[in-house]
Each structure stands twice: as structure tokens, then as C-alpha cells.
Structure 1
Amino acid sequence: MSDISITPPVEKAPQKKAISPLRAAMLDFASSPLAMIGLVVMVVMVLAAIFAPWITPQNPYDLSQLSIMDNNLPPGSESFGGQTYWLGTDPQGRDMLSAIIYGLRMSLIVAVTATLCALAIGMAMGITAAYFGGRIDTLIMRVVDLQLSFPAILVALILLAILGKGVDKVIIALVIVQWAYYARTVRGSALVERQRDYIAAARGLGLGHARVMFRHLLPNTLPPLIVVATVQIAQAIALEATLSFLGVGVPVTEPSLGLLIANGYSYLLSGAYWISVYPGVALLVAIVAINLVGDQLRDVLNPRLRR
């Protein structure tokens, strides 16, 4: 009898479950420890700014809660009432920890508001330039080139010298110096997307210009905008701090981190370093954390970098 060979059944390899693009992007983002640290710091800063009235030891701008007897106390000192000032106090007896949290709150409000307004204007201008082209594109982009040819700090200083001090004035100045970055970014992405078949199909269906621009073209230009917006928030915080340090930014009654640094600058030589240094450290940590998140977002949302 001939031997009959029995072939064992071939086991099928288990199929991997498909991962959604959003989940894949989240996993790529979480693969960077620095980006995760930056994200945690950002979340803590935002929560601290939102809940500042409830988590701070005192309202640093409520005169009834201040005592001149507690002025210029070093970090870790206790007041006559037994309160511990972990980061010391300033010449007015304000708790520096509370002042920094309130200052961070103002810096974030100004930066985020200015970024959102500039983003909206820049998106509209960039999409319009890319979609219509021709003279409209030339006109808008020449304005953008003119805007970007001047240093942002110089333009902001000139605007605030004309408009005067105030939170709203600082926001307007930041919007004017930032919108051009978004316009150029959107235009570059929209010029590529405009050549796609789905845009031609939308036009062939007789859809209006506004619907094609903002319903079909704009969503496909968002990934680079998210990256630019994240980085520009950090730039806005730094620029606002510079303007406030120079005395042309937010008023004394609504101080930001930049103004806190300026208020303590004259006390550095007397040894009261904490009045200026600690707000400066908070400003540095905020900018670095946002930039870490922005850098990782750029790597995640850019297919070329991901490969």
C-alpha cells in the first residue's frame, strides 16, 4: 500500500483590525514623551486659568485681601495671619503664586482670542485668493507680503502707540500682525486642493462659490492650519508679554505675565528676584509646552514626515 500523506490544515493568520485615521494620529502623538509632557502642562495651565478664582490663595487684585505688612516676603514665608506664600510676595503684599495664575489667565485670554480672530480672517482671505486667483489672488498676496515684510513687534508697537493701552487694543494689534500667516498657509494648501476632481465635480453640480470654498475646499486645508495656530498661540503669548513688559500692553489693573515681569524687574538688584523671575519661568514653561505640542502635531499631520 502506498503511503498517504496528510497535509495539516494551514492556519490563517489573524487579521489585524483596521485603525481609524484619528486613532492612528492619536497614537502617533502619544509616541512622543516630550509632546505628552507639553500637553499635560498645557492642560494644567488652562485649568488653572479657568478656575483661578477658586484655586488661588487670594485674589491678588482685591485690595481688601492684601496687607502691606506682607510685602516683599521671600518664598516659603508665612504671613502674620498664618498664610504661607510659597512663591513669596511683591511690594504690594500680593501672593506671587496667585498673581502668576491670574497673569497666566490674562495672557491665555489675549493669545487665544487673538489667534481665533486672526485664524478666521486669514482663512477667509487665503481661501478667496486661492479659489478665484487672478487679480484677487495678486492683490491679497501683495498685502500679505507687505504685512510679513515688517517685524511683528514693530507693527504691534506702532498700532498700540496709535490705539493706546487696553486688552481689546492688544488683541486687535495681535490679530493684525498674525492674520497674514494663516492666509499664506491656507492659500498654499488650497491651490493644491483646487486641482482635485472633487472640486471640479462640485462646480459641475452648480454649487455656489461660497459652498465650494467653505464646505469642500476649506476642510481639506485644516491640518496645516492646526499646526500653525498652535505655534501662533505661543507666539502671541510671547508678543503680548513683550508689549506689556515695554509698557504698551495690558493695563496695570489687568496684568499679564509680561507686566508681572516688568513690575519686578527693578527689584532684581535688591535681592527680591522672585517678583520677576517666577513669572518669567511661568512664561517660559507655557511657551515651551505649546511649542512641544505644535511640533508633534506637525509631525503627525504631515504625511511626508510620518513616513
Structure 2
Amino acid sequence: MSTVDQLPTETAGVEEGESMLRRQVREYFRSPLATAATITVATLILMAFFAPLFVPQNPYDLSQLDIMDGLLPPGESTYSGRVLWLGSDEQGRDIYSAILFGLRTSLTVGFLATAIACMLGTIIGVISAYVGGWVDSFVMRVVDLQLSLPSILVALVLLAAFGRGIDKVIAALVIVQWAYYARTVRAAALVERGAEYVEAARCLMLSNTQIVFRHVLPNCMPPIIVVATAQIAHAIALEATLSFLGAGVPVTQPSLGMLIASGYNYLLSGQYWISTYPGVVLVITVGAINLMGDRLRDVLNPRLAN
């Protein structure tokens, strides 16, 4: 068949794919809860990564801090006359400013760890399913071992060996998370491996690499997207837990978990705002991302909808 003969069919296929994508987007935003969650997450991301535009001070620039402004409750004014809407901590940091800077760290760790773990686990899972045999058995035993261990325990052991730092936390979370993607992608790829289009690709003498990455992997994307969304929330919550325990990010680059930990000792003395407000933002962030993941699952796989 000539290129001219193929063109209408290929164009129709592209148009059908775009039409399906538009339908899925419309279906996603039909849920008011998912729409609100998406707007919330987008707003938090914009405010975190453009934090200097939204905050009155850099809370980690010592030249901008005044110890006389320490432990002021929400609504109080500093000695310079600036109102602290969420109060200040013991070093005079504006809690609102600290939250946005800490949220930026948490989001960076969560998104980077998820992206790297997703790529690694997806490649391992699709190769395992397509090759089969002893390779598949070995990979699945490693995955089973990984998933049988508590994530927080594995991360703590790894950080005890790696040391503290954002790059160390990301590496630990990648090691913790890759197995989720490997198992999910393997299950989807096993179904696709026996499909007619794969057999047709083999008859056309396409290489295994072309079959895997151009034909099998694209059809495994819906479950990958759903798992990745849930794992972003999991990574943010896990990083916050590690930082709260003192094994996560360093004090010079605090996250929401570190902010919660810094105010923990002040709860009994009445300075609740140091820990409470970062905790509320953490809950909102993780909850909104999880709501997005639930809606994506329902849209991409309607059979799983409640």
C-alpha cells in the first residue's frame, strides 16, 4: 500500500485518539470534587514554585529574621509593623512564608522521585512481561520481596546508609517505589503481549525494542498514570514522615515534615500554629492529589468506577 493510501487511515486514527482524549478530559471535569482538587493542586504548585512572589520574607535568609518576632501568634504584628497572618516560629520566621518554601521542597521531592521511579519501574515491568521465562520470574521475586517490606522501614535504612539530603531522599524513595510500577506495568503488558497487533508486528519483522516501546508500552499508559498520581501523594507523605523523624531533608532546606517537627515541642506550651498550619497544608496537598488519582482511575478504566 502506498503512503498516499495509508494517509487517510493514519489521519483518522489520530483524530479518533484526539476525540477520545477530549471525551476523557470532559468526563474528568464533570466531577466537582476532581475539579476542585485539580484547582487546589495547581494553585499550590504555582504558589510553591513562585514563592518569592507571594511571601513577605525569605524565611531562611538570616538577615531577614528578628528573634524579637519569635513565637508571635497568628494575626500579631512584628516590630516593623508587618502582620503575621499565620504567626511565627521561635526564630521569627513567618509561618506563611515557611510553608510555601517548605511546600516547594516537598513537591520537588515528590514529583522527581515519582518520575524517576515510574521510568525505572515501567521499563523493568514491560521488559519482564515481554521477555518472560526466568527473567520474569526473577524480577517478580524481587518485586515481591520489595513490596513485602514496609516502605518507611526501607527508606529509613537507606537514608541511614546514604545520609541526609534532598538527593538522598529522592534516591531512597525511588528504590521504595519502583516495584509498584513494575508490577502494574507487567500485568498490563502480559495482556498486550498476546494481542493481534503484537503478532502482526512480529510478522513485519519489527525488532523487540520497537514492539515493546512503540506498541506494547503506549497501551499500558492508563494504569501507569493512575499509579503515578497516587505515588506522588505517597512520596510527599513519606518524605514528610522521614523529615519529621529527622532522617529526611536537611534543616537548611526544610520541607513540610520538617516544619511540623520544628513546632512539635511547642504544642504543649500553646504555640500550636507552628506545626498545625504546615500539617493542614500537607493534608490538603496529599488529599487533593489522591482525589485526582481516584478520578483518573474512574475515567481511564470505567469498570473500576463505583
Q: Which residue of 1 aligns with 2:290?
A: 291
1:306–1:241 CA distance, 2 compared to 1 (3 A): closer
* Per-residue Cα deviation, 1:149-180 (whole angstroms, up to 9, x for no partner): 10000100100111111111100000000000
Q: Give structure 1 stretches of 5+ with no counterpart.
A: 1-17
Which secondary structure does the structure 1 equivalent of 2:86 belong to?
Answer: coil
* Per-residue Cα deviation, 1:245-286 (whole angstroms, up to 9, x for no partner): 000000000000000000000000111000011000010000
Q: Which residue of 2 aligns with 1:255?
A: 254
Instruction: Work out the CA distance in 2 between the residues paired with 1:278 and 1:203.
Output: 57
Q: Which residue of 2 aligns with 1:109?
A: 108
Contact 2:57 2:94 in 1 (8 A): yes
Q: Is residue 120 from structure 1 mapped to residue 119 from structure 2 by the alignment? A: yes
Instruction: Work out the CA distance in 2 between the residues paired with 1:291 and 1:48.
Output: 20
CA RMSD of aligned residues (A): 1.2
Instruction: Work out the CA distance in 1 between the residues paired with 2:71 and 2:105.
Output: 23
TM-score of the pair, normalised by structure 1? 0.93
Instruction: Work out the CA distance in 1 between the residues paired with 2:272 and 2:171.
Output: 33
TM-score of the pair, normalised by structure 2? 0.93
Q: Give structure 2 stretches of 5+ with no counterpart.
A: 1-15
Contact 2:201 2:211 in 1 (8 A): yes
Matches within 5 A, 1:158-177: 158-177=157-176
Q: Which residue of 2 aligns with 1:36?
A: 35
Larger Rg: 1
* Per-residue Cα deviation, 1:228-257 (whole angstroms, up to 9, x for no partner): 000000000000000000000000000000
Q: Which residue of 2 aligns with 1:14?
A: none
Higher mean C-alpha displacement, 279-288 vs 199-208: 199-208
* Residue 49 (structure 1) shift: 1.3
Q: Which residue of 2 aligns with 1:266?
A: 265
Instruction: Work out the CA distance in 2 between the residues paired with 1:298 and 1:222.
Output: 12
* Residue 304 (structure 1) shift: 1.7
Q: Which residue of 2 aligns with 1:89?
A: 88
Instruction: Work out the CA distance in 2 between the residues paired with 1:50 and 1:205.
Output: 48
* Per-residue Cα deviation, 1:36-88 (whole angstroms, up to 9, x for no partner): 11101100011011101221111000011111110000001111111111100
Q: Which amino acid aligns with 2:252?
A: T
Q: Is residue 209 from structure 1 mapped to residue 208 from structure 2 by the alignment? A: yes
Aligned residues: 290
Which secondary structure does the structure 1 equivalent of 2:263 belong to?
Answer: helix
* Residue 306 (structure 1) shift: 5.7
